[in-house]
Amino acid sequence: MILSVGKASVPMLKTAVKVLRRYEFSAILVTPENSPCEGLHDPRISIFKASHPIPNKIGLRAGRFVESTVRKMNKDDLLICLISGGASALLVAPPKNISLAEKSLLTSRLIRSNATIHEINTVRRHLSQLKGGRLVEICPASKILSFVMSDVVGNSMSDIGSGLTAPDSTTYEDAIGVLKKYDLWRDIPRSIVSHFEQGARGRLLETAKPVNPTFRRVHNIIIADNQTACQASKVTLERAGMRCKILTSSAEIDAGCMGLLLASVASNSDLCRKASAIVVGGETTVKVRGTGSGGRNQEVVLSAVERIANYPGTVIAAMGTDGIDGNSPAAGAIIDGRTLRRAKKLRLEPGYYLRRNDSYNFFKKLNDNIVTGRTGTNVGDIYLLIRV
């Protein structure tokens, strides 16, 4: 059986079907809404189009279907998992005593906090009957082979898709600690509080731990990650005649701080010379305070607009490799040393849009959004600093 789940689930499954076309197989596809599935309408494939980043009923239906199907596998079966970013939200399987609405509410509040992806997934793993290695525990198949496209800094297997086929070293107490750290503990549904408290007291089974011998039959293979995208960016820029360096592919800082960092590097002539480029990969975080439209990548460049106003020939761009940035239809945005002057002509104040978390509309009025549509992949974010 093949389970393909995540933002890159469609192209990953298409490839698998092509490779395995001579063999008997069944497949489950869990993909974002509006994903084109041409060529996959096959009676052997069950398709679920769920929502991201907030779980919906289709994601819950997919989770229950995956759980029941996997449990029915035979000991001589092979389970092939194709996992990519977004799997945590798309495949939903909360404990029976927690409703979808309650799970969605918690997810929304976690996303709006400043929690890292590791912290968010620590909570998610302890609110799922599939994540944190539980999928492996309920599957009787002799072998589980996972091909993974990583969107997580550091490629932590327990965080990619919240660890469907990987052991988890965190605990219920760790999950409680995350919720308390971000002042969410008192504002979440009582059923979730009770669930975590019972888990911390040892009354519920923990997630699957690394010492569990069941993982001896599991093989997790990362086939693409942020470093892959950074390297491709470097090759493309060099072909365009630019000197290029990859600063890091594991950046994890606040979006505003990333924007200020890139602007600061731009001001250093030794680090950023003419006809040169710097590539940074990773994932930033945003503290959501307003009700506007945008995402972390557009916030990165919006934070740098004023800082590079005096540097002609300087360009900063930020984009999500999945083609989607936050709650906007853009993948990111691009600015240069003239952006602030153009914004002032339209009476656009960067600070105002930052406070509202409305970066998308700031750049839309300047026609400086990067719009690609869904790319069918997801390996984190790319930030570019270019001097021409």
Q: What is the CATH number of the domain that holds 199?
A: 3.40.50.10180
Residues with Cβ within 8 Å of 147's Cβ and at least 6 positions away in sequence, in order, are 12, 80, 81, 82, 83, 221, 223
CA 278 – CA 234 distance, rounded (Å): 8
Residue 193 and residue 293 in one domain: no
CA distance 344 to 365: 12
Look at residue 287 and tell me whether its pLDDT is greater than 90.
no
Task: Report pLDDT digits (tens) over 236-247.
Answer: 999 999 999 999
Same domain, 109 and 248: no
pLDDT surpasses 90 at 114: no
Average pLDDT, rounded, for the chain: 95
Residue span of the structural domain in which 145 resides: 2-224
- In the predicted model, what is the mean pLDDT of residues 193-207? 97
Listed residues 224, 255, 279: the one ending a domain: 224
- pLDDT category of residue 270 using cuts at 50, 70 and 90: low
Q: Looking at the predicted structure, is the pLDDT value of residue 269 above 80?
A: no
Task: Determine the Cα–Cα distance for residues 195 and 221; give it in Å rounded to an integer.
Answer: 33
| Among 188, 190, 199, residue whose Cα is nearest residue 108 | 188
Indicate the number of domains in the chain. 2
The C-alpha torsion from 326 through 330 and 334 to 339, rounded to 10°, is -90
Which tens digit of pLDDT belongs to each residue from 148-186?
Answer: 999 999 999 999 999 999 999 999 999 999 999 999 999
pLDDT digits (tens, 9 = 90+) for 332-385: 999 999 999 999 999 999 999 999 999 999 999 999 999 999 998 999 999 999
Q: Provide the pLDDT for residue 39.
A: 87
Dihedral pair phi/psi, residue 345, rounded to 5°: -65, -30
Query: What 3-state class would DSSP assign to 340?
Result: helix
Last residue of a domain, one of 203, 224, 245: 224
Find out whether 93 and 59 touch, Cβ atoms under 8 Å.
Answer: no
Global pTM reads 0.91
**pLDDT tens-digit map of 242-263:** 999 999 999 999 999 999 999 9
Are residues 235 and 187 located together in one domain of the fold? no
Distance separating alpha carbons of residues 136 and 115, to the nearest angstrom: 27
End residue of a domain, out of 196, 224, 252: 224
Residues 252 and 207 grouped into a single domain = no
| Cα 301 to Cα 319: distance, rounded to the nearest angstrom | 10
